Chain A
Amino acid sequence: MSFTKRILYMLYGYANIAASMLVITLPEEASQMIIFVLTVSLFVRSIQSFIYYFNYACYMVGGVRILFRGILLLDFAIFLNFVEKTSTIISLGYLIAVFCMEGVLEIIHALDAGRFQAKGWKLDFALGLMKVIYAVVSLFYINSLKTLSILYAVALLNSAWRKFAMAFQKPKLTAIQ
């Protein structure tokens, strides 16, 4: 992993810690800010997809899927923009749902990696499962803004320590045969 990437992971980690503190102290403003950041991020990624498609991928066999990805990302960005304008509970609920989806994807990747006998798949599975459990527990407190915000803050801290772990992981020597 390059030095720049390590720095980026550390910055993500710090950003997650800062976001978790904001979510606990100012849940309404913090959730709106996080959704705003996600909206902008999705919008930027959709534009990147369009640029990539019209410059390169339109010449590639099967490149039209890149265009579809851009359209999908733009769709999500617009949808998130609407979510931001609703109540704080719905916003937090949406963020937790996204967190749950991340957990499900991590479980799927971990199980896949387990089939390939890759190392560390059990830890990845456990962390993905934790995310899903967070989301399920949140359902029981869906009407309590304070509890939801604490749960989401814990989820953000979970992401933070994982980013730090990735930033400090040892470089591996890979032999490609």
Chain B
Amino acid sequence: MAMHILADTWAHSNFAGTPSLVINNINFHFYELLSQDDGSLTERPIRFTHNPGAPDNLEESIYLNTMFQTSEYSIMNLGHGRAGHLPDYSFIRYKYLPAWGKYEELIKDNPSDYWNAFCQLVYALKTLKDPSAEFELNKYEEEACEPYKEEIQKILNTRQISSVEDWKQFGAKLTGQALEDFDVKKYAAEYMMAVREEKPNTFLGRFFVAAMAQKNMVTRKIYESGSTLAGISLKINGSDIQTIDDFIGLLGMNRKGGSE
């Protein structure tokens, strides 16, 4: 969860992980920046559709996104939904007008951001292995990643919808071990088949609990900064739980002595 969040902080930057029209909305002014052979960039307008059955069309820059909804708290305005999967494509560079940007264009260079994210993840994992080390911001393990830079950059810049296979092969090469395919149906079935009390202990259940704990932490930080945009954060029974409705499971776990 922590590594996923660290990576997403790079990929999903300029969007907020809470439903908000005034933060996360985008409009028709959205262009893909395509590299030419001479190193220059050309612009191609991006067209968004709302058909979840159709894959993104990389050749014509037609991408799926969530529908425009005027409700501030609509799920359609959560995170980068309005920009579709674009923040998650490592190869893409684009420019657009973020809702909060006062009509100033913002340029997103995913290959560069993803390289920085990779180096920071390696640094973070190294600090986790060393109990005496502390994680510092703006530090990247570029030296350790340098021998693999060419290979990593190749994966990052390959224009494809999913680079899972490339990363799997790279991971297998690094570790000398084959990596199992991620089967979402298997984990969904495990969660659905489990009895209520055992759901938090399943693969997905642990993920949900970790996600709620993460949201707790972020909501508290935002609330302590003086903003109520993410809601009001209450301390209940001495722990940082936002509302009983949302996090009753966490409350129960805290009482039993579980850690966030």
A residues in contact (CB < 8 Å) with B: 2-3, 52, 56-57, 59-63, 65-66, 69, 115-117, 173, 175, 177
Q: How far is the CB of A59 from chain B (nearest CB, A)?
A: 7
Is the pair B184, A61 in contact by a Cβ cutoff of 8 Å?
no
Is the pair B99, A116 in contact by a Cβ cutoff of 8 Å?
no
Is the pair B184, A175 in contact by a Cβ cutoff of 8 Å?
yes
Is the pair B72, A175 in contact by a Cβ cutoff of 8 Å?
no
Grouping DSSP codes into helix (H, G, I), strand (E, B) and loop, the A interface class, with mixed when no group exceeds half, is: loop
A116 contacts across to B, CB distance below 8 A: 50-53
Is the pair A59, B100 in contact by a Cβ cutoff of 8 Å?
yes
| A63–B191 CA distance with the chains assembled, in angstroms | 41
- The interface centre, meaning the residue of A2, A52, A57, A60 with most chain B CB atoms within 10 A of its CB, is A60
Q: How far is the CB of B21 from chain A (nearest CB, A)?
A: 7
Grouping DSSP codes into helix (H, G, I), strand (E, B) and loop, the B interface class, with mixed when no group exceeds half, is: loop
B231 at the interface (CB under 8 A from A): no
Is the pair B51, A59 in contact by a Cβ cutoff of 8 Å?
no
B144 contacts across to A, CB distance below 8 A: none
Is the pair A62, B27 in contact by a Cβ cutoff of 8 Å?
yes
- The interface centre, meaning the residue of B21, B22, B188, B192 with most chain A CB atoms within 10 A of its CB, is B22
Selected from B99, B192, B245, the residue in CB contact (under 8 A) with A61 is B99
Is the pair A63, B22 in contact by a Cβ cutoff of 8 Å?
yes
B70 at the interface (CB under 8 A from A): yes
A57 contacts across to B, CB distance below 8 A: 21-22
Is the pair B22, A175 in contact by a Cβ cutoff of 8 Å?
no
A-B contact pairs, 13 of them (CB 8 A): A60-B22, A60-B100, A61-B98, A61-B100, A63-B22, A63-B99, A116-B50, A116-B52, A117-B53, A173-B188, A175-B184, A175-B188, A177-B184
Q: Digit string of B68-107 for contact with A (CB within 8 Å is 1, else 0)?
A: 0010100000000000000000000000011111110000
Is the pair B70, A65 in contact by a Cβ cutoff of 8 Å?
yes
Is the pair B70, A66 in contact by a Cβ cutoff of 8 Å?
yes
Q: A56-B72, A66-B70, A175-B188 are in contact. Are A61 and B53 (CB under 8 A)?
A: no
| A175–B52 CA distance with the chains assembled, in angstroms | 13
B25 at the interface (CB under 8 A from A): yes
| A62–B99 CA distance with the chains assembled, in angstroms | 8
Selected from A3, A56, A61, A115, the residue in CB contact (under 8 A) with B103 is A61
| A3–B99 CA distance with the chains assembled, in angstroms | 32
Is the pair B99, A60 in contact by a Cβ cutoff of 8 Å?
yes
B184 contacts across to A, CB distance below 8 A: 175, 177
Q: A60-B99, A117-B53 are in contact. Are A2 and B245 (CB under 8 A)?
A: yes
| A65–B70 CA distance with the chains assembled, in angstroms | 9
